[in-house]
Amino acid sequence: MLLTDSPRFEIKRFVGGPLLTTCYALIVPGKESIIIDAPRDAWKGAIAAADERNAPVQLALATHGHWDHVTDMAKMQAMGYRTAGHPADSGLFANPMAGRAGLPFVIEPVRIDQRLADGDHLSIGGVDILILHTPGHTAGSVCLWIAGEEILFTGDTLLKGGAGYLERPESDALALATSIRRLAEFPSATTLYPGHGAPTTIAEETWLEDAQDPDTLVRYWKAGQRRWKPPGGGINEEI
């Protein structure tokens, strides 16, 4: 599925694993590509799409360290792809299966080659990507902003209809409220590419209007409306 009409690059979306986690390929044809997250098996299609456009993959970036986003990151690394992630999730990267004893497959620890920080710029085939550190869902969650295109990859920080799950020990509701307020400031036409589910826009996410008042946002979450589950099934578990 082609997700952008930018003349400069293509965004393709692949879905893998029991939580229907998204893997994106941002492909600059004839130049370079980046793969965002590595859910189970989905990255294979992303690499094939990049190869097809003669755009070698420069980086496999984890939006955060949750197991469903890094399931196959070590496999990609073993194939020679460089990995990137925020060091605040280093505990999750080192032990992605911690507290997940029920998983029917093994997830290898991920070694991060490129440590991301807020304000970093990545250049992929000449396309500038700004890294935003958006803690809350996890301490090391990041979003990726493409200036001039109004495109934001949001991981599990911001999903269609709500924010990511907050009930794991690595979650922090107040930090997430701060991060959501920051994202709500982006232009209303910004397209959001989340870690689960369909793309959306800032304008469509009308609940973000509440984000200006941190108390309102936290109350909203306490009412249980922050949860998001895969449509039509999947494991009934946190993402």
For residue 133, the Cα-to-chain-centroid distance in whole angstroms is: 12
Q: Does 239 bind Zn ion (CB under 5 A)?
A: yes
Closest by CA position to 114, among listed 183, 61, 171: 61
- Using CB under 5 A as the binding criterion, the count of chain residues that bind Zn ion stands at 5
SS3 content of the chain, % helix, strand, coil (to 5): 25, 25, 50
Residue spans of alpha helices (H) in 56-103: 67-70, 73-78, 90-94
In 55-193, which residue ranges form alpha helices assigned H by DSSP? Answer: 67-70, 73-78, 90-94, 173-184
**Residue span binding Zn ion (CB under 5 A) among the ranges 73-81, 111-119, 192-200, 225-233:** 192-200
Residues 55-94: x where in contact with Zn ion by CB under 5 A, - otherwise, as a string = -----------x-x--------------------------
Taking residues 13 to 52 in sequence order and writing x for each that binds Zn ion by CB under 5 A, - otherwise, the string is ----------------------------------------
Q: Which is nearer to Zn ion, 12 or 66 (CB)?
A: 66
CB of 51 to Zn ion, least distance (A): 26
Token digits for 156? 């599990």
Among 156, 183, 200, 217, binds Zn ion (CB under 5 A): 156
Q: CB neighbours of 15 closer than 8 A, spacing ≥ 6?
A: 21, 22, 23, 39, 42
| Selection from 28, 66, 23 nearest residue 237 by Cα | 66
Cβ 73 to Zn ion shortest distance, Å = 13
By the rule CB under 5 A, 226 interacts with Zn ion:
no
**Least Cβ distance, residue 137 to Zn ion (angstroms):** 5
Name which of 195 and 197 has its Cβ closer to Zn ion: 195
Residues found near Zn ion in the complex (CB under 5 A): 66, 68, 156, 195, 239
